[in-house]
Amino acid sequence: MTNTAYVELLNLACGALLATAVLILWRRQFAAIIRWFGVQGLALASLAAILAVHGHDARLGAIAAGVFALRAVALPWLLRRALARAEAAAVQPQRETRPLVNVTASLLAAAVLTLLAYAVSQPLTALTPASPAAHAIPLGMAVVLIGFFSLVTRRRALAQVTSFLLMDNGITAVGLLTVASTSLLVELGVSLDVLLAVLVLQVLTGRLRETFGSTDLDELRELRD
Amino acid sequence: MNALGITGGVIQAVVITGGAPLLTGVMRQVRAKLEGRKGPGVGQPWRDLRKQFRKEAVAPEGTSEIFRVAPLALVATTVVTAVVVPFVTSASAVEPMADLFAVVALLAMGTATLALAAIDTGTAFGGMGASREVTILALVEPTLLVSIFALSVPAGSTNLAAIVAATLNDPGRVLSPASMLAAIALTVVTVAETGRIPVDNPATHLELTMVHEAMILEYAGPDLALIELASSMRLCVFLGLLASLFAPWGIAASPTPLALAIGTAAFAAKVVAGGAVLAAAEVFMAKIRLFRVPELLAGSFLLAVAAVASSYFLAGAS
Amino acid sequence: MSTSALGLGLAGTIALLTTLAVLVIPFRLRPTISGAGTALVGTAGLAAGAAALAGQSFTLPLPSLLPLSGLSFAVDPLSGVFIAVTGAVAVAAGIYAIGYTSHSGTSRAAAAVLPLFVASLLAVPAAASVATLLACWELMALTSLLLVLTEHKQRPEVAEAGLWYAVMTHLGLVCLLGGLMIFTAHAGGDSFAALAAAAPELSPALKGAVFVLALAGFGSKAGMVPLHAWLPRAHPEAPSHVSALMSAAMVNLGIYGIIRVGFGLLGGGSTWWWLLVIGLGAASAVYGILQAAMSTDLKRLLGYSTTENMGLILVGVGAAGLFASAHHPELAELALAAALLHVANHAGFKTLLFLAAGSVLHATGTRDLDSLGGLRSAMPATTLAFGWGGLAASALPPGTAFVSEWLLVQALIHGLHGATTATAVTLPLAVSAVALTAGLAVATFVKAFGTGFLAKPRTADAAAARESPATMLAGMGLAGAACAALALVPGALLPAIGRAVAAAGWPGPVIRYGTNGLVTIRLAGLAGEVSPLLLTLGLVIVMVATAAWLRALPARRAQGARRRARLWDCGGGPLTARMEYTATSFAEPLQRVFDDVVAPETRLDVTHLDEARYLVAAIEYRAQVPDRIERRLYQPILSAVAAWGSAARWLAPGSVHRYLGYGFYTVTAVLIILTVTR
């Protein structure tokens, strides 16, 4: 792969990551959110594949395949299934999120967080100024912060799960961009972690629905004595 | 193991086994005379032993082998101690066994076996005697070991032969503060371990006052004879230890018949004198309450610690 | 590959295979496979430890096994002692567990985890880096917790005991983590070699902090006062083979840690460290045996006795450090050798005692000494086992603990020459603490053996006891044989212990023990010798001779068998079991003497008749000896923590968004500050 092609493809993949994150923050319907999440997984997998091809690293290629399988295929499928079950069980199917902060304010906050991410990532980029991957780190950081913000401001449990996964995508991206050679074991561990978290949160969501009839987290306040 | 030690061991075994009842007889006679009685005579304990050995052996209901083995264990520990400790000669019959800690632990083992036998009878007296006896045993241990510590500092070892030799080489050391304090502490220990007044009354059978007697209440015949013999021998051994540690003059240093005869006579004289003093003191003292005994033993512990401290802190004392 | 590496590898493999096997095989075979597997793991460990003691060390780094730091193992003679002891205990406990768990039942998880527990016990002394040590330590804690909770369905107290154990062991882990992380941070590498190389450059304050934290963590595991509260709670509630493993193998690893960190890694240190160790050791010894003397629960008594013995071992370790920092290497080596020998001896007799107690529990269903008694006729083998164990534990000749306590006292006594004032004050106090402990131990085990096994049974449960099955007796027999060997010929083990002492870390000549060290133990360079074998021989000869002479008496020959006689009952009718002394009454004089320390609680409830207030309908009297340190030290801390928790509830209004918001705002604020202040 020529150097310019590599740089172009890398920036494209990272740009796609950030764009899908903003779209997830913007859209209100669950089905759309899950679709954009799948696209983001594809972007992440292609990022890993680009790095693998450029660095001639077979292990990174295996990681790329794993990321694709998990974040572009398995997790969206699980989320869609959970959505379908929620729609089947609920009296009033809720298709939309109802965030605490309205969409305009959320997008403005996302812009501020992206700027913050650029500011914070300066030392990391300064470590290897010649590498194009290092210049793309702020994008990954921005995805993490946007994910965190989304986690804080979402009411519905399913939206929160998606935000958590968004954050994790961002962390994986930063990890791929910064580390020279990742250990397979670490990736495996992290992936298993994520899978487990999703499964647990699914169960939790189901229980919430049974108890309260909805998955509005504000209703959890009633549990405090 | 040399010739001196072996001859000493044999002589000691014979003299202590044969002479211990005589020591008891002397002590009772001294008490009787001081109390204005005629007394049974010095040979009465021997006559009692002979009578008991002729009686039939009994096994009380519900007791097990521990009850039958305890008198044998008591006699064994006392005889082994009598053989290895250097009383008559300055060398021990079996050097590795003549360690002061080992001897003390051996004597404690005999007491513990007797306490177990007392519990084995299943009577309230047995349990009571055993419970009181192990309490006193537990409280005597610190004084005993710290006194041994104090004695071992000048000799550089806890081996009895070494301590005796060190005292023979430097007789003035006996008058040092460390030595005097240790002597008083060990005297209290002797009284406690052998069950004499003021810790225990060896002639009482009142529930309130028995310690040793309660443990042997169920014994009769040859078993009782063995236990009485072992008790007398224990007293003999303790008095002999006091003599060897603090007044070892007259001890035989060579295996000639004259030296051995002098050594034996010196040992017998010192032990009888010590016993007479003890008996005389008993006439003027009463037995103290069981729960005052810890105070007495704590006092002796304090003296022992003072002995160790003085052997370190006072210049020229170690 | 050296034998020790082979043995440890084999042990690990067998443990994993047994765990997997137990998870799949049917219920009926589970106890046998689990117990036999554990015994095999123990045998492999024993072989590995023996090889290491014989001088075969090995080092095995495995950098790829754990991310970031890798695992690395190294075995030298010091670890060999602990590995060998654990292996031996596991053999006896494993064989015993076959019979015990087939009769009392066990869950699949507990049976599966037993060999893993033993494997983690073998791995901890073999660890050569901080990460490995902590990983194996945590594995040991988790597996032992699972094992303690085996019987939680049958009894509710088990859950509480498990909770105490879990909390305290993890608090200990936190202390360990803190101390070792400080050390590693300043050393720039987490292998023990790197730590030892970096130690001379550290400041004394830092080294002191590391040592105190390590002492807290390892001491808590060893049952050191005041961090001992889990021991008398967890050991009675665990099944007996697990109690034996915990008391005889796991607590030793606390001692191993202190020796390794104190001597090997930190290179000895200031005098005040070792005075602290001696002080805590002496306090543990006296407090432990005092509580044991008051206890009427058989296994709780044995648990407190473990605290006592660990206290004695800590006195030895502390004395070794004290003498090393005062530049008396031969005394330091003697003290450490005494401590290591006592580790081995304690493992032997504590295993025997716990296995025998388990046998009693299995036969009668109760651990309460006030309800037992008269087991001698129905359970002769168990009685013999407990009696031998009790003799061994009370430091009387010909028992097992006599030689190691003799060595310890010799080390303390010879230290007075040329000592500093602090040492000269500490040594007599240490000797008196050891002496008081020895005396109280005699009282405790006379009580336990006498009231529990002799005389008449006090309840129907005790009267209905039957002897235990053959595998349980075999386990006890192995432990008893080991005790006997250690009691009569401890000289066989001393050269190996000398190598272990040399491996502990300070420079100096190795002790050369006397050439006939098998029969007589001679101290090199100091005057002192003792021979337990000759003592025992002398006793036996005299006893046999006296018995023969008695038999030969003419009166006895004419009589034949002994006549059965009535016990003296003051003429008041046949004696009942109710008139025997109970364990509580036996300990009552001691309790009165130590009233201020022990602080027993009594409660008297008098119920009057409704109609007439002067007449009494019922009286209930309850007496209890609580753990005073728990009352005075732990309760206030727990109340303070609970008060903090209640006060902090205003931070938690119940809104999930608020909680997430805390995290988000904090992270963002930190990032902004980082950006601004760079």
Query: So what's the ipTM on this one?
Result: 0.94
Burial tier of C474 (Cβ tally within 10 Å: 0-12, 13-18, 19+): middle
**For a pLDDT cut of 70, what percent of chain C falls above it?**
97
Checking DSSP bridges between strand C58-62 and strand C71-75, what pairing results, if any?
Answer: antiparallel
How far off is chain C from B284, nearest CA to CA, in Å? Answer: 27
Question: Who among A153, A189, A224 is closest to C653 (CB)?
Answer: A224
Subunit contact B127:C585, Cβ cutoff 8 A:
yes
Residues of C in contact with B13 (CB under 8 A): none
Alpha-carbon torsion, ordered C1, C5, C6, C9, to 10 deg: -130
Q: Is A101 on the interface with C (CB under 8 A)?
A: no
Spell out the alpha helix ranges (H) of C326-420: 329-364, 375-378, 380-393, 401-413
How far off is chain A from C655, nearest CA to CA, in Å? Answer: 5
Mean pLDDT score across all residues of chain B: 90
Mutate to test the interface with C, among B116, B132, B159, B314 (most CBs of C within 10 A): B116
pLDDT at site C59: 83
Q: Tokens 């504590």 map to which residue?
A: C350
pTM: 0.85
C-alpha–C-alpha distance, residues B234 and B193, integer Å: 9
Q: Is C672 on the interface with A (CB under 8 A)?
A: yes
For B131, name the nearest residue in chain C, comparing CA atoms only: C586
pLDDT at site B318: 41
Mean pLDDT score across all residues of chain A: 83
Q: Which two tokens stand for residue B52?
A: 């008991």
User: Residue C311 contacts by C-beta under 8 Å, 6 or more apart in sequence?
Assistant: C224, C225, C280, C281, C282, C283, C284, C285, C286, C287, C288, C437
pLDDT at residue B9 is higher than 60: yes
Residues of C in contact with A152 (CB under 8 A): 657, 660-661, 663-664
Mutate to test the interface with B, among C369, C447, C530, C584 (most CBs of B within 10 A): C530
Average pLDDT over residues B45-71: 92
How far off is chain A from C660, nearest CA to CA, in Å? Answer: 5
**C397-443 residue pLDDT tens:** 888 999 999 999 999 988 887 777 778 888 888 999 999 999 999 99
pLDDT at site B79: 95
CB of C118 within 8 A of CB of C154? Answer: no
* Chains A, C: CB pairs < 8 Å: 47
Subunit contact C568:B218, Cβ cutoff 8 A:
yes
Average pLDDT over residues C220-248: 93
Q: Is A171 on the interface with C (CB under 8 A)?
A: no
Omega prior to C226 cis, within 30 of 0: yes
Question: How does residue B315 score in pLDDT terms, banded at 50, 70 and 90?
Answer: very low
Average pLDDT over residues C590-594: 90
pLDDT at residue B264 is higher than 70: yes
Give the residue, A189 or C150, on which the prediction is more confident: C150
Interchain touch C–B (≥3 Cβ pairs closer than 8 Å): yes
Burial tier of B186 (Cβ tally within 10 Å: 0-12, 13-18, 19+): buried
Instruction: Parse chain C into domains and list their residue ranges.
Output: 1-208+223-257, 270-508+581-595, 628-677
pLDDT at residue C380 is higher than 90: yes
Checking DSSP bridges between strand B58-60 and strand C563-565, what pairing results, if any?
Answer: parallel
CA C217 to chain centre: 15
Residues of C in contact with A186 (CB under 8 A): 67
pLDDT at site A105: 84
pLDDT at site C104: 77
Q: Which two tokens stand for residue C43?
A: 């045998």
Q: Which two tokens stand for residue C515?
A: 């050439």
**C439-485 residue pLDDT tens:** 999 999 999 999 999 988 999 988 898 899 999 999 999 999 999 99
How far off is chain C from A168, nearest CA to CA, in Å? Answer: 15
pLDDT at residue A154 is higher than 90: no
How far off is chain A from C642, nearest CA to CA, in Å? Answer: 17
Touching chains, C (3+ CB pairs < 8 A): A, B
- Residue C493: phi and psi, rounded to 5, are -90, -20
Give the residue, A2 or A182, on which the prediction is more confident: A2
pLDDT at residue B5 is higher than 50: yes
How far off is chain B from C107, nearest CA to CA, in Å? Answer: 40
C-alpha–C-alpha distance, residues C85 and B158, integer Å: 31
SS3 B158: coil
**C23-58 residue pLDDT tens:** 888 888 888 999 999 999 999 999 999 998 887 788
**For a pLDDT cut of 90, what percent of chain C falls above it?**
53
Residues 194-213 of A with CB under 8 A from C: none
C-alpha–C-alpha distance, residues C367 and C295, integer Å: 11
Residue B89 DSSP label: B
C-alpha–C-alpha distance, residues B273 and B292, integer Å: 28
Checking DSSP bridges between strand C529-530 and strand C616-624, what pairing results, if any?
Answer: unpaired
Spell out the alpha helix ranges (H) of A96-179: 103-120, 122-127, 132-135, 137-153, 157-178
Q: What pairs with residue C297 in β-bridges?
A: C368
CB of B79 within 8 A of CB of B72? Answer: no
**C618-676 residue pLDDT tens:** 999 988 888 888 888 888 999 999 999 988 888 877 777 888 888 899 988 998 888 88
Report the 10 Å Cβ neighbour count for C323.
26
C-alpha–C-alpha distance, residues C348 and C343, integer Å: 9
For A184, name the nearest residue in chain C, comparing CA atoms only: C67
Question: Who among C67, C657, C672 is closest to A185 (CB)?
Answer: C67
